[in-house]
Structure 1
Amino acid sequence: MNIIFEKTFQRAFGTYPLKGNTLSDAIRAAIAAGYRAFDTAQMYGNEDATGAALADSGIARDELCITTKVGIENFTAEFFLPSVEASLNALRVDQVDVLLLHWPDPSVDNRKSLELLQQALDRGMTRNIGVSNYTARMMRDAVAISDAPLVVNQVEFHPLLDQSTLIAASIETGIPLSSYCSVARGEVFRHDIFAEIGRGYGKSAAQVVLRWILQKGVPINTMSTKPENIRANFDVMDFTLSAIDMARIDAMNATNYRIVDRKLVPYAPAFD
């Protein structure tokens, strides 16, 4: 089974943009809530704090799924593997569970970075490899380039954005998607439909959104610093949205609200 689809790991705790004691406190709350999957990145500047908090948690290493991402500044033969080694040292582990390319290569040719990612896998620095922010075309190209299976393409995914093209590419290529910006950084709360649907299940608007993502077959990454919200974001496995409610939420895709684009990240690709 793909590691991110293991039951406990379908719900990951994202660490961006947390640092220091704020991050440590949030990870402690996440561990207490039941989270065992944690997502960080070189770019976040918090691998050290994440590693320390997980090491202090007392949770056995084999119960954790740790994901980190290589930044584009390290997409060279000189820097790639040393940067991964630095990430492992910061995270206090011998290998991560999932190593991702954080962004497509700005050159638009992803072959070299994918080959370097494969080298990290071959050297035992990670159990699995994947990508993030790849377009459908890039997913198809990556499958042709990579000798090893890519276990995920981590992308912006929430009900206010139509990602049907990526869903189709996921089915075609066998590369699963996982979500970031799962509640659209709070934008979903401006739409009454999610709270309205939630009342019928005794759940919050956020829980409805997260459950919708899971029922689309997409694992979720969520972040909060409030223990009550951390627990609520994890508590989304005890109800199932009806087909009618799923369809109502699907219709919200037409909002076409995208957070991460070239205005925010200049080297972002032209997304589908």
Structure 2
Amino acid sequence: MDAISTQGISIPRLGFGTFRMPGGDCQPVVESALELGYRHIDTAEMYQNEEAVGAAIATSGVARKDLHITTKVWHENISAEGIKRAFDTSLMKLGVDYIDLYMVHWPSVDMNVPMVLETMQSLLEKGLTRAIGVCNFNMTLLKAAIEDVQAPIACLQIEYHPFLSQSRMLDYVRSKQIPLVAYAPLAQGRAATDPVLEQIASKHGATAAQVAIAWLLDQDSVITIPKAKRRESQEANLGALNIKLDDEDRAAIQALPKDQRFVTPPFSPDWAK
């Protein structure tokens, strides 16, 4: 599987998301994904499944060095002590010696960006995490992190799928040689039944969901982390790696509405800034 190198780490371009898979039920799901060949697992303290992810890793037989593990600190814990405490808890629950990528999950209101990133960098300097990144930052916050604080941001994780343009963010992060990790790549299931994607899929002997994933992987510097509870869906998502879109496909997808954002918690930043 292709991977992208950034800030000294290598991230497989097709990862496995675990959002909305709380508790022990997550363990067999992640075990299945690892067995099928996924090597990039994305979790977070808020998902309440780090122990299950850790148990799946422990029983998988996959060498730690062959895995990329991302976890994240929740926005309610982004004080200096809160980050350290949250990190220690995540490390313990995952049962590993280090995290590959530790991220700010959501910015908080009036967040002290330098303090947050300096605390994250202290974990990096101690070798507890191999890289740091941010999720759900708007352009103002992202520029503050990269240009003002000059933090070694390894990637930006944001909502991105065929119905939401992220061209502004993509242009910026590409100019800084920072990859974008697309979460909710199937637009919370909507991509699977979209008529345009279904028409493209029929041409390739694929599914609309596979086309949505292939569209993301077709783009430079984009990583994606679809989630799938059923083994058949996990296998199908891997099948997206074999789809080669043509210019006609790309034009049809580009013509879809690009203003549909589906992840909008009340603490979201102002995306226009």
* TM-score computed with the length of structure 1 as normaliser: 0.92
Unpaired segments ≥5 residues, structure 2: none
Which secondary structure state, in structure 1, belongs to the residue aligned with residue 242 of structure 2? Answer: coil
Distance 1:59 1:87 in 2: 20
Give the equivalent residue in structure 2 for 1:246. Answer: 250
Is 1:221 matched up with 2:232? no
Q: Note closer, same or farther for the CA distance 1:26–1:4 as it changes in structure 2 (3 Å cut).
A: farther
Alignment of 1:134-213 (within 5 A): 134-213=137-216
Hey, what does 2:12 align to over in structure 1? 9
For 2:127, the aligned partner's letter is G
CA distance in 2, matches of 1:21, 1:145: 41
Per-residue CA distance 1:95-154 (angstroms, 9 max, x = gap): 100000101232154222111111111121100110000112222211124444211110
Does the CA-based 8 Å contact 1:118-1:146 persist in structure 2? no
Deviation at 1:207, TM superposition (A): 0.6
Closer, same or farther: CA 167–99 of 1 in aligned 2, 3 Å: same
Partners of 1:148 and 1:269 in 2: CA distance: 20
Pairs within 5 Å for 1:1-272: 1-2=5-6, 6=10, 9-217=12-220, 218-252=222-256, 254-261=257-264, 265-272=265-272
Native 8 Å contact 2:6 2:178 kept in 1 = no
Q: Where do 4+ consecutive residues of structure 1 move more than 6 Å?
A: none
Unaligned runs of 5+ in 1: none
Residues 31-53 of structure 1, C-alpha deviation per residue, up to 9 Å, x if partnerless? 12210110000111111111111
C-alpha contact 2:9 2:131 (8 A) present in aligned 1? no
Distance 1:133-1:188 versus aligned 2 partners, 3 A rule:
same
**Does the Cα contact within 8 Å between 1:13 and 1:223 map onto a contact in 2?**
yes
Indicate conservation of the 8 Å contact 1:140/1:173, yes or no: no
| Identity %, equivalent residues | 34
Contact 2:192–2:207 at 8 Å: present in 1 too?
no
Question: Is the CA contact 2:29–2:229 (under 8 Å) kept in the aligned structure 1?
Answer: yes
Structure 2 counterpart of 1:131, one-letter code: V
Q: What amino acid is aligned across from residue 158 of structure 2 in structure 1?
A: V
Question: For the structure 1 residues 64 and 4, does the alpha-carbon distance in structure 2 shift closer, same or farther, using more than 3 Å as the test?
Answer: farther
CA deviation vs aligned residue, 1:141-169 (integer Å, no higher than 9, x gap): 11124444211110000000111111122
Whether the 8 Å contact between 2:22 and 2:49 is mirrored in structure 1 is: yes
Partner-residue secondary structure (3-state), 1:104: coil
Counterpart contact for 1:213–1:219, Cα < 8 Å: yes
CA RMSD after TM alignment: 1.8
Q: Does structure 2 conserve the Cα–Cα contact (< 8 Å) formed by 1:19 and 1:46? A: yes
Matched residue pairs, number?
267
SS for the counterpart of 1:222 is: coil
Residues 173-201 of structure 1: per-residue CA shift (max 9 Å, x gap): 33321111010011123421111101111
C-alpha displacement of 1:4: 10
- Equivalents in 1 of 2:27, 2:64: separation in Å? 17
